[in-house]
Chain A
């Protein structure tokens, strides 16, 4: 059939059906591709380890890691049941994430609104930000003890700076026209902050939450490495001391899985909080 005839056929409702089929095919391709990547990497690793190209003692192998995960799952870990370790680390992470985000937003908004205060405190905050922040984990392990407080504090410090800078920038970037409009409409300072500044800064803040949840997890694990009795970080630390690299990798896999779940939750939160934004094409998300 000629190209012209083909075009004539592809009109009307047929087009919508074609689009749907194409989208479905595309999705299948993506999933297939993902499986392929996993098979290539894990398979290569496993084969490399069996052919002794990769040293099993230092780099372990996927089947060992899977076996360790299974053992943890069915028989529990050396520290107790697996779910408890995951729960403890999640508590520390979420606690640090919430505390750090709340303080970050409050400081960001207050300093963003107050020029004098931000000029006075600016150099201190920049200086504090320049310190490699995981070292505060050592400080908190000493001053706050070995329980959950030290881990929450470490995670919160990591989260705070990211959220703070984003909230601050978000407040500073508020469209001046919108502020002028709100003032003309009669908004007082409080209304200006709650109805214009914060909603406008929210897209910046929420964007920073993606990064900062990962950082909270880092903070919690680092806190556990500095001294703890439970948690995924402690599990990794213990495995390291036993030269059990499969255990280290198994811990890492758990952390990665937790982070992915959290990422999905934050994306859902973002869609709820920022409904007013034109929907982002899903393909651009990763």
Chain B
């Protein structure tokens, strides 16, 4: 079976503001199966967001191959949903217009797009808020809009960049459970970037640990916890704790490296 996502020997360099060249990712190898929920963890600045940008086609790799369903990625890849790290819903569009944007851009008539948008707004629990502007919503509600905006296009791959990191703990747990519910009704592969190991394990089938920058995959772990899961409770299971301890040993070293570097950089 062709993997949903495949990165082979991917290196990404950026022109640093100082004029030098900064290597964000080095020789990254990475495979996601169709329908698989993968989490990517790593210290800040290790290149997690960059990895998603490469998969989506927003950025080209400097070296190596990025393939989505066996097709080499050049430009924006088809069938991708992307929930950005910072707020990316359109502030001048209402909730309804925001969610309807994708279908409209893909040639669906205005009426049908709105019809489908209403359905998705209900599914993410925002019924009654169709005519609000984003500034009139809470952070959690804006994330729901972003989620509906992506899912309405029926993506085969959903990229999520620390989507819930700005939310309070209760809202976050709620959103995590809803994400799992919504995802289980699709056959999409998910790449979920987070710096929160608990979140990574609760949600995913597999966890990738990325090294402190330049990022590369340090190790991968299978999460053999049964589904459906309740994120609020799963962290108390003995198996969860075992997996957590195993991955944390690995991740801790990278976080320390990154931390030491930041300290030196700041000094």
Contacts and interface: CB of A to CB of B under 8 A. Distances in A.
Contact of A184 (B82, B93, B133): B82
A70 B133 CA distance: 49
Interface stretch (B38-46, B83-91, B188-196): B83-91
B105 A177 contact: no
B99 to A, nearest CB: 10
B186 to A, nearest CB: 17
B88 A187 contact: no
Of B92, B135, B149, most A-chain CB atoms within 10 Å: B92
Contacts of B153: 185-186
A196 to B, nearest CB: 7
Contact of B58 (A180, A187, A195): A180
Nearest to B107: A186
A186 B94 CA distance: 19
Interface string B61-82: 0000000000000001000111
Contact of A180 (B84, B87, B101, B105): B84
B263 interface: no
A184 B59 CA distance: 12
Interface residues of A, number: 23
Contact of B93 (A183, A276, A277): A276
Contacts of A183: 58, 76
Contact of A181 (B84, B106, B133, B135): B84
Interface residues of B, number: 25
A180 B88 contact: yes
Contacts of B84: 177, 180-181
Contacts, number: 60
Contact of B135 (A177, A185, A200, A276): A276
B136 to A, nearest CB: 8
Interface string A170-194: 0000010110111111111001000
| Interface residue SS majority, chain B | loop
Of B56, B84, B88, B93, chain A has the most CB atoms within 10 Å of the CB of: B88
Given A180-B84, A181-B84, A186 B102 contact: yes
B106 A186 contact: yes
Contacts of B76: 183-184
Contacts of B92: 199-200, 202, 274, 276
Most buried by B among A175, A185, A200: A185
A181 B81 CA distance: 9
Interface in A245-286: 274-278
B1 to A, nearest CB: 26
B106 A184 contact: no
Contacts of A195: 90, 101
Nearest to B94: A276
A191 B105 contact: yes
Contacts of B134: 276
Contact of A276 (B80, B82, B91): B91
Given A185-B149, A185-B153, A276-B91, A177 B133 contact: no
18 contacts: A175-B88, A177-B84, A178-B88, A178-B90, A181-B149, A182-B105, A183-B58, A184-B56, A184-B58, A185-B105, A185-B149, A187-B101, A195-B90, A195-B101, A196-B90, A199-B92, A274-B92, A276-B92
Interface of A: 175, 177-178, 180-188, 191, 195-196, 199-200, 202, 274-278
Interface of B: 56, 58, 76, 80-82, 84, 86-94, 101-102, 105-106, 133-135, 149, 153
Given A183-B58, A186-B153, 6 more contacts: A177-B84, A181-B84, A183-B76, A276-B94, A276-B134, A278-B135
